Structure 1
């Protein structure tokens, strides 16, 4: 069997490339593996040679030490790969298929999966509904920032690209299908974005930029992106978004200036829809821009969104945060102005994006040149060995989406 190198979490602020076992069709003990999953057989799985595996902001939460992730955890839940072996129970996926892997691991058999709620599958994580590759408290499935990875329930989970040559020519865009593009799209759909909508998106990281791209795809009239990072805001402006630097003060006042006479005559400047693409490490606005205030974004979105509007919350919130600003935040308890949201009849949708609900249609939009998601999020392929530097640069606010390219296939496919 070939060697298998992977990105390993080594403790707060540290990742390294190490050799790990080649995938098999049985779960073994190891860092983060749920004890009830040890020995679990996966004849329904497939082994993939990793074509691309992206660094995600959710990975950064673990690497910063802001979760209970154990040292030694193999990272990576944004996986695109080529099938090189299939288990005896796999019927439709074939060796040689190039596929997108939804970051949600789902069985396809439980009630939630059958209802399309693949982000909260009941059968893959013994602790609670929902699972993902290489992520804390998600059952212990090995991450895909590696040369090779196992995907369980392959016939159900894998999205096969129709044509290999076409896929490799657009592989950097297609690599966004595993998480951030569907997640940003889900945030917008949850917030009711449609033709003519005015939309405010909190966060200009990759998920926020993917949400902004999705808002345009859904027909929004105005897309406003708020962040503290001017380089990331410039990236949002590069594809037509208006921007708000929340370090300069209350975003409501800046949104008012953008909407101008299109704003409602009564009350504060209000958008139709809002998306939280920041999550639990949010910072304050204005003078508090360097202070962590985890409820800031959600409260600001309730302020900014019109009565009867909706708020999509794809940004990550956790039940355990060792670095939380207070005891409440350490268990995911935030000081929300729920009364404001109630008074304005807001709707909220939270939780993992059910990737399979959207990935095929978004794939078609990419293949038929309806969207340039890789350009909009500034996706940059790098070799696996450069992952530690990629994590460091991303943590410092680089306006890039780093795509790990373990076998050089992304760079070769685009040449």
Structure 2
């Protein structure tokens, strides 16, 4: 039997590449696996040889020790791979197919899945609705920052690329379909971005950049991106965004007025989440900053897309409230302005096929927008360190050296 190597969380601030078991079509006991999921048979699943797997900002929350993730957790929920084994009950996915894996695991059978809400599947996580690979409190499904991974419910979930050679030529764009591109797009759609919209995106990390590019695809007239990192703001400007350096300015409305002539936008997107820093500070945490800011600068009747991650347990929170996900949000302001809020995981399957077609037909250049940067599996720990320092890159792990 082949071996398997993977990126493993070994404690706050630390990841290592370790040998792990080769996947089988069953969920075995291990770090983070819900006892009710142990022994779960997955003849509806497949084994993938991982072609690309990306480091995500939400992985960083765990690696920083800002969640209750257990030591030994295999990381990675952004997965693209080649099918090398199919389960007995798989009918339509074949050995040799090159596929994108939605990061949210969904059964296709429950009420939520049938309604298209695959981000809150009721059957894959005994703790709560919704699940993901290699993530804390998500049922314990083994992560895909590895050489090989098991994916359940293959016929329902997997997005097969129509032509393998064409897909490999565009693999750095297509690898973003598992999470970051649909997540950014969902943020823009949730915010009501349309032709002629003015949009503020809080955060110029990969999700923020994906949201900005998505807003452009949806026809936004002006996309303004705010961040504390000059390198990330430069990346946003590289594909036509206006920017606000939040390390120098704390009045976002005033900066928007200098760009648009009015101190507000039609739509806003929170691509930061619960580890937000205060504006014009030296990295002082203020977890409600972004949510309050986007309510302040979005016009009355506007919409707020919130793909940024918020958690119910944060051991490193600045106070007792923040440690259980309770933040000082000005909900009265949002109520008074009749804002529409959309939160939660992204239902990847709602968007990934359309975004794949946009990539294959050269209508989207998401890899360029997020500065996709290929690294080896052995370089993953360094990638995590660089990303944590604010590198304006989206690190793509190439476990088998298949990316040219």
2:44 is equivalent to residue 44 of structure 1:
yes
SS at match of 1:258: helix
The aligned counterpart of 2:213 is: 213
User: Which of 373, 380, 383 is residue 376 of structure 2 equivalent to?
Assistant: 383
Q: Give 1:26 deviation, angstroms.
A: 1.1
List runs of 5+ in structure 1 lacking aligned partners.
264-268
Instruction: Name the counterpart of 2:275.
Output: 281
- 1:157 aligns to 2:151 (yes or no): no
Counterparts of 1:321-332 in structure 2, within 5 Å, are 321-332=314-325
Residues 107-122 of structure 1 mapped to structure 2, 5 A cutoff: 107-122=107-122
SS of aligned partner of 1:385: coil
> Aligned pair 1:352/2:345, yes or no?
yes
Residue 339 of structure 1 aligns to a residue whose secondary structure is: helix
Matched position secondary structure for 1:381: strand
TM-aligned CA deviation for residue 234 of structure 1: 0.1
Matched, 1:397 2:398: no
CA distance in 1, matches of 2:265, 2:26: 50
Q: Detail structure 1 runs of 4+ shifted over 2 Å in the superposition.
A: none
Q: How far does residue 355 in structure 1 lie from its aligned partner after superposition?
A: 0.2
Partner of 1:193: 193
Shift of 1:373: 0.4
Q: Name the counterpart of 2:172.
A: 172
Mapped partners of 1:311, 1:289: distance in 2: 27
Write out per-residue CA displacement over residues 188-238 of structure 1, whole angstroms, 9 at most, x where no aligned residue.
000000000000000000000000000000000000000000000000000
User: What are the Cα deviations for residues 243-297 of structure 1, in whole angstroms up to 9, with x where unaligned?
Assistant: 001111221111110112xx2xxxxx110000000000000112x3521000000
What is the rounded CA distance, in whole Å, between the counterparts of 1:94 and 1:29 in structure 2? 28
CA distance in 1, matches of 2:344, 2:292: 18
What per-residue deviation string (whole Å, max 9, x for no partner) do you get for residues 83-114 of structure 1?
A: 00000000000000000000000000000000
- Report the 3-state secondary structure (helix = DSSP H, G, I; strand = E; otherwise coil) of the residue aligned with 1:330: helix
C-alpha contact 1:245 1:251 (8 A) present in aligned 2: no
Q: Structure 2: 5+ residue runs without aligned partners?
A: none
Structure 2 counterpart of 1:362, from 352, 355, 366: 355
User: Number of matched residues?
Assistant: 403
Tell me the residue number matched to 1:15.
15
1:26-78 residue CA offsets vs partner (Å, 9 max, x unmatched): 11111000000001100000000000000000000000000000000000000
Distance 2:92 2:52 in 1: 22
Residue in structure 1 matched with residue 243 of structure 2 by the alignment:
243
Secondary structure class of the residue paired with 1:225: strand
CA distance in 2, matches of 1:259, 1:246: 17
3-state SS of paired residue (2:390): coil
**d(CA) in 2 for partners of 1:157 and 1:408?**
26
CA contact (8 A) 1:8 1:75 kept: yes
Q: Normalising by structure 2, what TM-score?
A: 0.99
Instruction: Give distance in 2, aligned partners of 1:291 and 1:131.
Output: 31
> Structure 1 length normalisation: TM-score?
0.97
In structure 1, distance between residues paired with 2:275 and 2:356: 31
Query: In 1, Cα distance between the equivalents of 2:252 and 2:97?
Result: 46
Query: Does 2:69 match 1:69?
Result: yes
Task: Map Cα deviations across residues 117-162 of structure 1 (whole Å, 9 max, x no partner).
Answer: 0000000000000000000000000000000000000001100000
Please report the RMSD computed on the Cα atoms of aligned residues, expressed in angstroms.
0.5
Q: CA deviation at 1:409?
A: 1.0
1:257 corresponds to which residue? 258
Find the aligned partners of 1:289 and 1:363 in 2 and give their Cα distance: 40
